[in-house]
Amino acid sequence: MKQESIFDVAVIGAGTMGMAAGAFLAKQQVKTLLIDAYDPPHNHGSHHGGTRMIRHAYGEGRQYVSLVQRAQQLWTELEEDSGYKIFEKTGVLGLGPEDSVFLHETIEAAKKYNLPLKVLSANEITEKWPEIQLPEHYIGCLETESGLVYSEKAIQAYKEIALKNGAKLVTNSPVLQIEMNDENEIKIITANEEFLAKKIIVTVGAWASKLLPNLKLPIQPVRKVVSWFEAPKDKFDIGHFPSFYVDDVNKMFYGFPNIDGAGIKLGRTDGGQPIDPDKHSQNYGAYESDEGELRDFLQTYLPEANGKLVEGRTCLMTQSSDHHFIIDFHPENDQVILACGFSGHGFKFASVMGEVLSQLAVDGKTEHDISLFALNRSF
């Protein structure tokens, strides 16, 4: 293999985090390879389905707030740079019992970072949105400045930026193996080609344990579903109805308003079926719970939106054992950077993760505090 074919950085897995990292690297004129098992954006991983929520007051832990604030800035920049509509300020309404740990952390995060957040009683919520049905002991947390990111548009935008700045994109090429050669370079082996790189960023989502089996990563790929339901016009349309989540009893549901007549979108962040990612397929309806538990949710909280099923899809989520991300150098080789285990709440951070991963690859460190995501933490 000739010297000129050696890449400065190869990104294995050009999906949510990988495509963003590739764009940041290429903009710095780093010789970048992006390689993916499919052709992103696609429906084989964790980024399809049109929309992802972005919350600023963060119930998963206030340590995330500074990262999500930077992510929001970068989504705005991406929108300006690409010409795509990336962010929609729908507001986000969180609902749950008044003793909800998640909502209380959301409130405390808002206080610490002076974020706009309104705490509403059940009566105040139903006065504003009569279509919501709530127990009296529920409260709401309304973030007026947050909303949703158009996920596939975001990946397409980063893809175009990476290519425009000279990155090489290799699609439909699953990586079979990575190994070091005698020149201390990393050989990337696919079924059809081999590539050399000085450093690699591994962002393969649910396939991380398969590609790096010796690390025994504390992650579990899970099959998840998302559904769109026919709902009355106006009441649930974007511009009137917010993006939302509900901390139900031992369950967490989320949803989006009706956008362009697609229907109200609904899913569940927890639960799901453990799965070998190689066996994932678009088999929505294979389990009675695919539609059934979402119907139960609608009947309880949004009975007017419990209409005809418009569409259902499956996707992959990679759950870490403590639900926090894993972002670190390989413990035996600092030429290898790993990002995985985004646990169903990672997409909103993709923009800032592109910045983080590119900084780790180029500088060996990042300006952002990612200590929470160290691989050697106690899981």
> Are residues 305 and 159 part of one domain?
no
- Which of 275, 303, 320 is where one domain is finished? 320
User: Domain span at residue 193?
Assistant: 3-47+152-216+323-373
List the CATH number of the domain containing 238.
Answer: 3.30.9.10
- Among candidate residues 20, 10, 43, 72, the one with its CA nearest the CA of residue 201: 10
Give the DSSP per-residue string, 242-295: PEEEEEETTEEEEEE-B-TTS-EEEEESS--EE--GGG----TTSSHHHHHHHH
**Residue 161: per-residue pLDDT:** 98
> Are residues 310 and 256 part of one domain?
yes
Residue 157 pLDDT > 60? yes
How many domains does the chain divide into? Answer: 2
How does pLDDT run across 223-239, given as a tens digit for each residue?
A: 999 999 999 989 999 99
- Which of 320, 339, 364 is where one domain is finished? 320
> Are residues 291 and 303 part of one domain?
yes
> Are residues 158 and 290 part of one domain?
no
- Residues 317-333: what's their mean pLDDT? 97
Per-residue H/E/C for 7-58:
EEEEEECCCHHHHHHHHHHHHCCCCEEEECCCCCCCCCCCCCCCEEEECCCC
- Among candidate residues 135, 301, 283, the one with its CA nearest the CA of residue 231: 301
**Residue 249: per-residue pLDDT:** 81
**Residue 233: per-residue pLDDT:** 85
- Residues 259-273: what's their mean pLDDT? 96
Percent of the chain with pLDDT over 70: 99
Assigned domain for 121 exists: no
Between the alpha carbon of residue 340 and those of residues 1, 132, 184, 217, the distances in Å are 30, 36, 25, 9
List the CATH number of the domain containing 36.
Answer: 3.50.50.60
Assigned domain for 71 exists: no
CA dist 13 and 190 (Å) reads: 13
> Are residues 367 and 307 part of one domain?
no
CA dist 12 and 197 (Å) reads: 11
Assigned domain for 87 exists: no
pTM: 0.96
> Are residues 270 and 223 part of one domain?
yes
Assigned domain for 92 exists: no
* Peptide bond preceding 41 in cis form (omega within 30 of 0): yes
CA dist 306 and 176 (Å) reads: 45
**DSSP, res 214:** G
Token pair for 80? 């300006």
- Residues 60-85: what's their mean pLDDT? 97
> Are residues 333 and 190 part of one domain?
yes
Assigned domain for 280 exists: yes
